[in-house]
Amino acid sequence: MVTPLFRPPAAPLGSSPGTVAAPAVAFHRCGYSYGRSAGAVEALRDVTLTVGAGEFVAVIGPSGCGKSTLLRLAADVLAPSSGTVEVLGGPPAQARRQRRFSVAFQDPVLLPWRTVLQNVELPLEIAGRSPGHRREMAQQMINLVGLTGFERALPGQLSGGMRQRASIARALTLQPALLLMDEPFGALDELTRDRLNQELLDVWQRTAAAVLFITHSIEEAVYLSDRVMVLTRRPGTVAATLPIDLPRPRTLYVKRTAAAFEWTARARLALEAASR
Amino acid sequence: MRPGGVSGSPGAGGLLGLAVLLAAWEAGVALFAVPLYLLPPPSTIWWQVVRDWPLLWRNAQPTLVEAVGGFVLGNGVAVLLAAVFVHAPAVQRAVFPVAIALRTVPLVALTPLLLLWLGTGYAPKIAIAALISFFPTLVNMTRGLAALDGQALELMHTMSASRWQILVKVRWPSSLPYLFSALKIAATSSVLGAVIAEWIGSDRGLGYLVVAATFEFRIARLWATIAVVSALALAGYLLVVAAERLVVPWRGDV
Ligand SMILES: Nc1ncnc2c1ncn2[C@@H]1O[C@H](COP(=O)(O)OP(=O)(O)O)[C@@H](O)[C@H]1O
Ligand SMILES: [Mg+2]
């Protein structure tokens, strides 16, 4: 694969006069309510948050605070009730139609009648790519996530971790500039999650993609990201921003350094404050 | 993938049950000296089938054509209509209640009308077999096509899939288990529909043979005909089960 592309350094929050590329995601004073006036549920209020090009941003917050809602706003599944959302320099719908971002959920959402290879090919198939190109790209992504040898397996024959790998391979096949991930490892056991965290970082390092990563695990957020955003209870809004300056590449060694523990403790305090 | 055990398959267990039933029937008839015209033993019916085979086979052919024709027509229209329903809820709201109301009309009452409208050839019988297959498939298929989980739809949306792509690549395959449970019903009921349609205004077919044998008081032939009808319905059912195993290998019995 020809991927070790240039990855721009993580832009520091707020100002980065030197950055040319548009941010991957920019929420500006964004609000979202489910339903209409009477029984409306206000999920998000006044959220301003940016994910720079190539940046890895994690979002944590109490459950039900609107994290998934935030991701669906960026994915053009929902439209904001107030404020604006821009994805890769334009409206989310445009980025979606240009197939410049992809999504991975907690549930891998594989089609059970398709083999791993066919599932990974799905986005290419929908985009109308030629069968030869589809096969080749899908195979590369399958190799990248470590599923080589399982191309012909059906999802029902795989473990939870392998299914999630397939889901990530599928999200990567169109070589998106942005990955939107909603607790992708939330249903996995801790060891599998650690391994997949490591692999996700490897993949991210080899592609130029920016990542908006929702999680409820503080350790995971700190370990993976350039920045951790902490949301308050519903209606969710940004309570704190933690610029995680741990060195990269992040190895398991980095995870055990004093600095890593320090960031984890600070993130926990911020989350506790935001949950009150 | 799926272990080929006895539990899920209608094969071994079903055969054993049938064998026990036939043995009890044979013994019961002999034990209580039941007169032949009330209930002949299975052995007598079997010999009658053998003796009448040319007659039975000749009359099974039109019935088979009607049942298969009705099966294809009824299920085909039901599947197409269900696909329309899923994409046009307004059409569903308008048509579904009418379809359900039609369903309550007894088919036996409908048969003479269809004979008047469609003549005495294959058409009215195929129509009855189609109608009887139509409703369960329409109901099941409408459920199956709509039963897509929200996340899969969101995923397809984020991939910018067209409605047609969603229908073909996701809705259709995920509705197959629903379709097959309806087809299992339709496989037997389309045979019964064809036979019932032949009761009136027909001079061939197993349904005609049932009526003729009754009038002529040929009880053994009546039973032999019934046995062939049951065998046809069972064969249809088993064919659908086999097709399901081939086409829906990712899911076990629904
Ligand atoms: N479709 C919906 N209709 C009404 N309320 C919803 C819907 N989806 C989510 N909510 C509510 O909005 C709030 C935020 O939901 P969500 O974004 O899923 O939270 P999180 O992902 O942080 O757990 C929750 O209180 C939830 O109950
Ligand atoms: Mg959520």
Give one DSSP letter per residue of B88-127, joined into a string.
-HHHHHHHHHHHHHHHTS-HHHHHHHHHHHH-SSHHHHHH
Chain B hits for A107, CB-CB cut-off 8 Å, are 151
Q: Is the pLDDT of residue A11 over 50?
A: no
Give the pLDDT score at B95: 87
Q: Is the pLDDT of residue B1 over 50?
A: no
**DSSP output for A104-128:** E-SS----TTS-HHHHHHHHHHHTT
Of B129, B113, B102, the C-alpha closest to B201 is B113
CATH of B59-247, one of 1.10.3720.10, 3.40.50.10140, 3.60.15.10, 2.40.30.170: 1.10.3720.10
Q: Are B183 and B236 in contact (CB under 8 A)?
A: no
Mean pLDDT value across residues A86-98: 95
Q: Is A40 close to ligand 1, i.e. is its CB under 6 Å away?
A: no
Locate A108 and state its tokens.
């891998």
**Whole-number mean pLDDT of chain B?**
88
- Helical spans, DSSP H, in A86-238: 92-97, 116-126, 131-144, 160-172, 190-206, 218-224
Between A107, A113, A127, which is nearest B151 by CB? Answer: A107
Q: How far is the CA of A47 from the centre of ligand 1 (A)?
A: 16
Give the pLDDT score at B146: 85
**Whole-number mean pLDDT of chain A?**
89
Q: Is the pLDDT of residue A2 over 70?
A: no
Ligand 1, residues A63, A68, A73: which to mutate, most atoms within 8 A of Cβ? A68
Chain B hits for A125, CB-CB cut-off 8 Å, are 169
Q: Whose CA is nearest to atom 17 of ligand 1?
A: A66
Give the ipTM of the model, two decimals please.
0.85
Q: Is the pLDDT of residue B199 over 90?
A: no
Contacts of B8 (CB under 8 A, 6+ apart): B2, B252, B253
**For testing contact with chain A, the best of B154, B155, B248 (most A CBs within 10 A):** B155
Distance of CA A22 to the CA centre of its chain: 18
B37 secondary structure, DSSP code: T
**DSSP output for B135-183:** HHHHHHHHHHHH---HHHHHHHHHTT--HHHHIIIIIHHHHHHHHHHHH
Give the pLDDT score at A20: 60
pLDDT tens digits, one per residue of A141-196: 999 888 999 999 999 999 999 999 999 999 999 999 999 999 999 888 888 888 88
Please state, in angstroms and rounded to a whole number, the distance separating the CA atoms of residues A260 and B226: 80
Give the pLDDT score at A134: 94
pLDDT tens digits, one per residue of B200-231: 878 899 999 999 999 999 999 999 999 999 99
Q: Are A23 and A50 in contact (CB under 8 A)?
A: yes
Mean pLDDT value across residues A54-59: 96
Locate A82 and state its tokens.
């107030």
Q: Which residue has the higher pLDDT, A44 or B3?
A: A44
Contacts of B24 (CB under 8 A, 6+ apart): none
Of A89, A71, A85, the C-alpha closest to A30 is A85
CB distance from A14 to chain B under 8 Å?
A: no
**What ligand is nearest to the CA atom of residue A183?**
2
CB distance from A109 to chain B under 8 Å?
A: yes
Q: How far is the CA of A69 from the centre of ligand 1 (A)?
A: 7
pLDDT tens digits, one per residue of B152-188: 889 999 999 999 999 899 988 989 999 999 999 999 9
Mean pLDDT value across residues B113-133: 89
Chain B hits for A101, CB-CB cut-off 8 Å, are 158
Q: Is the pLDDT of residue A246 over 50?
A: yes
Each domain of chain B, given as residue ranges in start order, spans 59-247
Q: Is the pLDDT of residue B127 over 90?
A: yes
Q: Which residue has the higher pLDDT, B205 or A8?
A: B205
Contact A101 B157 (CB under 8 A): no
Q: How far is the CA of A67 from the centre of ligand 2 (A)?
A: 6
Nearest Cα residue in chain A from B160: A97
Element (H, E) at A240: strand A238-243
Q: Is A64 close to ligand 1, i.e. is its CB under 6 Å away?
A: yes
Q: Which residue has the higher pLDDT, B96 or A228?
A: A228
pTM of the complete model beyond 0.90: no
Mean pLDDT value across residues A30-55: 91
Give the pLDDT score at B82: 92
Q: How far is the CA of A41 from the centre of ligand 1 (A)?
A: 8
Mean pLDDT value across residues B136-151: 87
Contact B152 A111 (CB under 8 A): yes
Give the pLDDT score at B113: 85
Shortest distance, CA B172 to any CA of chain A (angstroms): 11
Between A103, A111, A113, which is nearest B158 by CB? Answer: A103
B11: confidence class by pLDDT, cuts 50, 70, 90:
low
**DSSP output for A9-60:** PPPPSS--TT--SPPSEEEEEEEEEES-TTT-EEEEEEEEEEE-TT-EEEEE
pLDDT tens digits, one per residue of B22-42: 999 999 988 988 888 888 999
